[in-house]
Structure 1
Amino acid sequence: MEPGSRTPTSIPKVVLTKTVIEENRRVIFSQNRFANSPILEGKLLHYEAPDAFTLYAGTSQDLVNTHVVSSIKPCVVLTIVLEGTLTFGYDDLEFQLDGSRCAEVLMVNLTHPVSFHRSIEKDNQLTKVNLVISPNWLKARLNRNERPYPFVQSHLNYLRQPINDDTLEVIKRILSCEQPSDLLGRLELESLSLQLIQQMFALVDLNTSTHKASKETPQSERIKRILHFIETHLEAPMSLDVLSARFSMSTSNLQRVFKDELGITVKSYIRQRRLHVAKTGLERGVLTVTEAAYEAGYNHPANFTNAFKKEFGVPPAKVVKHL
Structure 2
Amino acid sequence: MVFIESGEFRMGSDDHYAEEKPAHRVRVDGFFMDETPVTNAQFRAFVEATGHVTFAEIAPKRKDYPGALPDMLKAGSLVFAPPDHPVFDLRNWSQWWAFRFGANWRRPYGPGSSIRGLDEHPVVHVACADAEAYAAWAGKALPTEAEWEFAARGGLEGAEFAWGDELAPGGRQMANTWQGEFPFQNLALDGFERTSPVKSFAANGYGLYDMIGNVWEWTADWWSTRHPADAAKACCVPQNPRGGPKEASYSGAQAGARIAQRVLKGGSHLCAPNYCRRYRPAARHAEAIDTSTSHVGFRCVRREVSA
TM-score, normalized by the shorter chain, greater than 0.5: no
Q: Which has the higher helix share?
A: 1
With structure 2 as the length reference, what TM-score do the two structures score? 0.24
With structure 1 as the length reference, what TM-score do the two structures score? 0.23
In our comparison, the structure showing a higher alpha carbon Rg is 1
